[in-house]
Amino acid sequence: MRKYQLTILLSILITSAFAQKRKYSNEFLNIGVGSSAFGLSGSVIASVNDVTAGYWNPAGLARMETPKQASFMHSEYFAGIAKYDYAAFATSVQDNTAVIGASIIRFGVDDIPDTSELIDADGNINYDRVKKFSAADYAFIFSYARKKGKKDIGNTDGLNYGANVKIIHRLVGEYGKSWGFGLDAGIQYKVGKFMLAAVGRDITTTFNAWSYNAEKLTTVYTATGNDIPKNSTETTNPRIILGAAYATPINDKFNIMAETNINLTTDGQRNVLVSADPISADPTLGLSIDFKKTVFLRGGVGNIQKSTDFTGKQIYTYQPNMGVGIKIKNFSLDYALTNVGNSSDALYSNVFSIRLDFTNN
């Protein structure tokens, strides 16, 4: 029985991965990074101005408030079964005319029992032969950003532009693995209290070249009547994100910022607010209030979908998020609680992240 369970798991992880084109390819790269962004439901591509811009919109790196920044994040999903980790560093270069950055993302399930060798050659069950493996996705993102017509990175008004190079590695124990490559590009334009932005993700169509370990798979797949997967390439279609934000002081102590983003996917009809083929539109909204740029309260709404309730009536569902943050000198700590409108505790996600700012002094 355990051998069959392992085969089912591997079929889901590997057979789906070897498909030529999939609508939800490399979806782990769409989860997001940074608790402040999670609290805003990811509505940040126009306002982001720290090291996490290397993920959200590389152009935002040119608006970093300090010459060097580092950020770290940890989150868990499905009651801690899946773990999601992120780390990034960015620094100004070329006499503060540009910024470069590097980010790493890992989403994985660890300690999966491998029972493919549970039964030895004599037909005996030997639990000492059970091993463990991980199914994990990795992304390495290298970013570059500049501010047009300005030599001071700290000057936030004007046009910023940037790009990412992504290297993707996906691994299913000793059974299968892939390497991929992709490009992102983004712009930000800020004038006064208004900010506009556009990001193109996977603009050249990101690919993952998959290979599998025939020696590990042949015995189990043949015994259970499954087709052995073949080496292939999985592609990820481009995605365009548009954003607009407005930030203003309420008084001499409080400030407010609101932003909306529209995610335009090009891989066919999706169950989102505006569902069409080949382009679907998924809007998000975020709102942040801070006290002297020190204490932050955030909220957001996203993942708006059409579904059917128990009476058969068509309804719209949405995912509300919330978060808080505190900044003390060069240290920032942020927390977000996602999917707060769901009644199942198992679907809540607690996201913590920190940011460190470094000066040249």
Which of 40-54, 111-125, 153-167, 198-212 has the weakest average pLDDT? 111-125
Place of tokens 């407010």: 256
DSSP string, 279-342: -EEEEEEEEEEEETTTEEEEEEEEEEEEEE-TTS-EEEEEEEEEEEEEEETTEEEEEEEE-TT-
Distance separating alpha carbons of residues 219 and 50, to the nearest angstrom: 50
Q: Stretch 108-129: mean pLDDT, rounded?
A: 78
Helix pair angle (214-223, 2-10), 10° resolution: 120
Mean pLDDT of 150-158: 62
At 336, the amino acid letter reads A
Q: What is the distance, to the nearest Å, from the Cα of residue 260 to the centroid of all Cα atoms in its chain?
A: 18
pTM, entire model: 0.84
CB neighbour list of residue 196: distance below 8 Å, 6 or more residues apart: 46, 188, 189, 190, 243, 244, 245
Taking CA atoms, 239 is separated from 42, 51, 179, 186, in Å, by 15, 22, 20, 12
Higher-confidence residue: 8 or 206? 206
Query: What is the arithmetic mean of pLDDT over 177-198?
Result: 95
* 62 found inside a domain: yes
Do 51 and 63 form a contact (C-beta atoms < 8 A)?
A: no
Find the length of the chain. Answer: 361
Specify if 301 maps to a domain: no
The confidence score (pLDDT) of residue 5 equals 40
Domain that holds residue 33: 2-193+200-236+331-358
The model's confidence at residue 94, banded by pLDDT at 50, 70 and 90, is confident
**Residue-wise pLDDT tens digits, 338-348:** 875 554 444 56
- What is the predicted pLDDT for the residue at 150? 55
Tell whether the model's pLDDT for residue 327 goes beyond 80: yes
Residues 125-140, mean pLDDT to the nearest whole number: 86
Q: Which of 26-35, 121-130, 213-222, 316-325 shows the lowest mean pLDDT across its residues?
A: 213-222
Q: What is the pLDDT of residues 263-289, one digit of tens each?
A: 999 888 888 888 888 899 999 999 999
- With respect to residue 268, please indicate whether it lies within any of the assigned structural domains: no
pLDDT in tens, 58-75: 999 999 999 999 999 998
The C-alpha atoms of residue 152 and residue 127 are separated, in whole angstroms, by 63
Mean pLDDT of 78-83: 82
pLDDT digits (tens, 9 = 90+) for 202-257: 998 988 888 887 776 666 666 666 666 677 788 889 999 999 999 999 999 999 99
The count of structural domains within the chain is 1
Percent of residues, the chain, with pLDDT higher than 70:
84
Q: Strand, coil or helix: what is 127?
A: helix
The answer to whether residue 126 scores a pLDDT higher than 80 is no
Percent of the chain beyond pLDDT 90? 52
| Structural domain includes residue 284 | no
Asked if residue 349 belongs to a domain, the reply is: yes
> Residue 38 has what pLDDT?
94
Residue 64 to residue 92: CA distance in whole angstroms: 9
Asked if the structure places residue 222 within a domain, the reply is: yes
> What pLDDT score was predicted for residue 292?
93
227 Cβ neighbours under 8 A, 6+ residues apart: 15, 221
Of residues 118 and 298, more confidence is placed in 298
